[in-house]
Amino acid sequence: MRTQVAIIGAGPSGLLLGQILYKHGIDAIIVERQTANHVLERIRAGVLEQVAVDLLEEAGVADRLKLEGLIHDGFDITFHDQFLRINLKELTGGKTVTVYGQTEVTRDLMNAREKAGLTTIYSAQDVEIFDFESATPKVRFKKDGESVQIDADFIAGCDGFHGVCRASIPKSAIEEFQRVYPFGWLGLLADVPPVQHELLYANHPDGFYLCSMRSEHRSRYYLQTSLEDSADNWSDQRFWDALRSRLPQHLQDSLVTGPSLEKSIAPLRSFVAEPMRFGRLFLAGDAAHIVPPTGAKGLNLAASDIRYLSRALIEFYSEKSSAGIDYYSEKALARVWKGERFSWWMSMLLHQFPESSGFDKKIQATEFSYLQNSIAAQTVLAENYVGLSYD
């Protein structure tokens, strides 16, 4: 098989890159080790920056998002018994975020790709990449017992944190930066209306919690928990009782409970791999970086990578220029580290750290007090949350 760009991974990063390249007449084949249903079953975040929405519009897959997405002008933070609303629209000169589940983004991209008759190979086994430091990179895998090779001009590694692409890079050529947080998020998804219209982030003495939603009728709630805990230890009733006990008094009676659709514990980590280009192999999304979900930056940083990478490839094919390719890693990483900083800051502010000293707790409380009383500090938070402008 022959293509211009071989994309490894059919999550939102790979699908979005494929769709934008298709719009510009660039051929791409996507290879995914899981089934399409497995990809759609992944439960992920759903807060989109405006720049991510703009990119989905450019890709021609935003019709359902415009109909079903929830526009949020702000969100709330509670710190113990104190309350603060961050008015995104006022603080950023009219910018907002859109709540639309990552599963729905993926579904829209899958449907668009299928409608266009583009090639996506699911259930690919033993995927390997070769010769990406040369002008003739290759992808090899097995499909239905048969060996398959794809010859390409470029390989885009959109295959996640545990994917083959980053693992194929020589250790001497890549540097990794990581922080693992000493807790996880126990998440519950249920078909119940959200406890309030906008998201609520909270630091409670019993631990962080987040009230979010996927739609007006589907809610996603999180509780901070130990990494040694198991979702099996949490009945639905135990989860709802714990959440209600942490909610502010005025919201406790508004909590609607119901059977969970999904319940799991996710560890939190900050991770960046540098650089993001190796010859004709490019890393994008979770293959290159992970953020704790506190700042709602995971999918948005992936979209940011795809924006830079798609433009670099379009420039290469339309203008015969390698400038965008040469600067892809530098540009992408500059934005990634800003997202990492913001997600780290939100995580430090809102969680109960088991190793915190009395001094640490005082600093955390003072940080919230400063945020509460400083429009400048709130503006910095809001600007980062809605998405920083591209350089």
Averaged pLDDT for residues 230-250: 97
The residue from 95, 289, 297, 351 that is catalytic is 297
Express each pLDDT in 155-169 by its tens digit: 999 999 999 999 999
Amino acid at 19: Q
275 is catalytic: no
143 is catalytic: no
Instruction: Record the tokens describing residue 385, joined without a space.
Output: 């949350």
**pLDDT at residue 44 in the model:** 72
For 255, what's the count of Cα atoms within 13 Å in the CB-facing half-sphere?
Answer: 22
**pLDDT at residue 42 in the model:** 77
Averaged pLDDT for residues 19-37: 97
Q: Where are the domains of the chain?
A: 5-70+98-178+269-351
Q: Average pLDDT of the chain?
A: 96
Tell me how crowded residue 98 is: count the other CB atoms within 10 A of its CB: 20
**pLDDT at residue 46 in the model:** 86
The residue from 137, 222, 293, 351 that is catalytic is 293
The residue from 12, 72, 194, 289 that is catalytic is 72
**pLDDT-above-70 percentage for the chain:** 99
Mention the CATH class of domain 5-70+98-178+269-351. alpha beta
297 is catalytic: yes
Amino acid at 142: K
**pLDDT at residue 41 in the model:** 84
Residue 297 has pLDDT above 90, yes or no: yes
Reported as a pLDDT band with limits 50, 70 and 90, residue 192 is very high
390 is catalytic: no
Rg (C-alpha) for the chain, rounded Å, is: 21
Express each pLDDT in 84-100 by its tens digit: 999 999 999 999 999 99
Give yes or no for a contact between 295 and 381, defined as CB atoms under 8 angstroms apart.
Answer: no
The residue from 12, 137, 194, 201 that is catalytic is 201
End-to-end CA distance of the chain: 37
89 is catalytic: no
Reported as a pLDDT band with limits 50, 70 and 90, residue 389 is confident
Question: Which one, of 76, 77, 68, lies nearest residue 98 by Cα?
Answer: 68
Express each pLDDT in 34-50 by its tens digit: 999 999 887 677 899 99
Longest dimension (CA), the chain: 64
